[in-house]
Amino acid sequence: MNYVTLNNGVKMPILGFGVYQISDTAECERVVSEAIQVGYRSIDTAQAYRNEEAVGNAVRKSGLPREEFFLTSKVWISNAGYEKAKASIDKSLRRLQTNYIDLMLIHQPFNDYYGTYRAMEEYYKAGKLKAIGVSNFYPDRFIDIAQFSEIPPMVNQVETHVFNQQKQAQKIMEKYNTQIESWGPFAEGRNDFFTNETLTAIGNQYGKSVAQVALRYLIQRNVVVIPKTVTKERMIQNFDVFDFELTSEDMEKIAQLDLAQSLFFSHTDPEIVEYMTGLSRKA
């Protein structure tokens, strides 16, 4: 496994496993257990995914030392603010069945995220969080929190894939020594991702799949990736991306696929903001 070193010296696997939309406890526990068997040690969950407990069960039942794992969770919008965030982090610790979380992120740039970040800074200083950061903070709000926080964000997890490569956002994160992390590295199959001619042709050169080429491209750009799948065969395939290297010509061809826009939603669209914040008020 390859690692990135965060701005506080913590090492984070560059390849992890995501559990978004696996809300059934038994199913999530099975999937994470299989991922651990394959070799994944970085698991990305969130309060809003409602599967922290399943992740904790799988990690505990693996019999492996807690120190071998890198667990990430995220504070949801409805838990924003200093006191509510602290209470929610305590719940995440209990659900994950651990006395520390390797990385805690603010899930969305809405509600009192400054109060949330202060709570995370406090828990970081106490050793209950080994690293802290944000998710879905695009350049304007990312710069805002990076400029005015006591402890600069160590990670920013944003939609990043071949069709939305976040090149400018990554440069800004690098300026603040913040690690970019991708959610949705396969764009959830949108835009005919898995049949893309460019990715297919490059993959054929190496005997690799479209998914493997897409992951390798991000990894070579120093982007942390957390692909999600519920099938063990694909877990194995996604894990097998360290035995080949894309050429500069390959990288340039894939760079040309960038549409530089979200395939999901814009965090600056008023309707989207109203929808997401509305969901959190009902949570």
Q: How confident is the model at residue 115 (pLDDT cuts 50, 70, 90)?
A: very high
**For position 277, what pLDDT does the model report?**
87
Report the percent of the chain where pLDDT is more than 70.
Answer: 99
Taking the mean position of all CA atoms in its chain, how far away is CA 132? Answer: 12
pLDDT at 270 over 70: yes
**Rg of the chain over CA atoms, in angstroms?**
18
Tokens of 188: 């959830």
pLDDT 10s digits, 30-84: 999 999 999 999 999 999 999 999 999 999 999 999 999 999 999 999 999 999 9
pTM more than 0.75: yes
Task: State the Cα–Cα distance between residues 112 and 79, nearest whole angstrom.
Answer: 9
pLDDT at 136 over 60: yes
Strands 17-18 and 11-13: unpaired
Report the percent of the chain where pLDDT is more than 90.
Answer: 95
Q: Which residues are catalytic?
A: 49
**For position 282, what pLDDT does the model report?**
56
**What average pLDDT does the segment 101-125 reach?**
98
**For position 268, what pLDDT does the model report?**
87
Tokens of 1: 């496994």
Q: How confident is the model at residue 281 (pLDDT cuts 50, 70, 90)?
A: low
**For position 276, what pLDDT does the model report?**
87
pLDDT at 242 over 70: yes
pLDDT at 151 over 90: yes
How far, CA to CA in Å, does 147 sit from each of 10, 97, 152, 157, 275? Answer: 21, 34, 8, 18, 28
Residue that has been written with the tokens 């960038």 in this structure? 258
Average pLDDT, the chain: 96
Instruction: Tell me how many domains the chain contains.
Output: 1
The candidate with the shortest Cα–Cα distance to 255, out of 159, 156, 164, is 164
pLDDT at 267 over 80: yes
Tokens of 129: 């969080």
**For position 278, what pLDDT does the model report?**
87
Contacts for 278 with CB less than 8 Å, ≥ 6 apart: none
User: What secondary structure does DSSP assign to 178-239, as a single string?
Assistant: -EEEEE-TTGGGGGGGGG-HHHHHHHHHHT--HHHHHHHHHHHTT-EE----S-HHHHHHHH
**What average pLDDT does the segment 79-106 reach?**
98
The three-point CA angle 107-174-11 to 5° equals 70
User: What secondary structure does DSSP assign to 32-79, as a single string?
Assistant: HHHHHHHT--EEE--GGGT-HHHHHHHHHHT---GGG-EEEEEE-GGG
Q: What range defines the domain where residue 29 resides?
A: 3-282
Task: State the Cα–Cα distance between residues 119 and 257, nearest whole angstrom.
Answer: 40
Tell me the CATH number at 34. Answer: 3.20.20.100
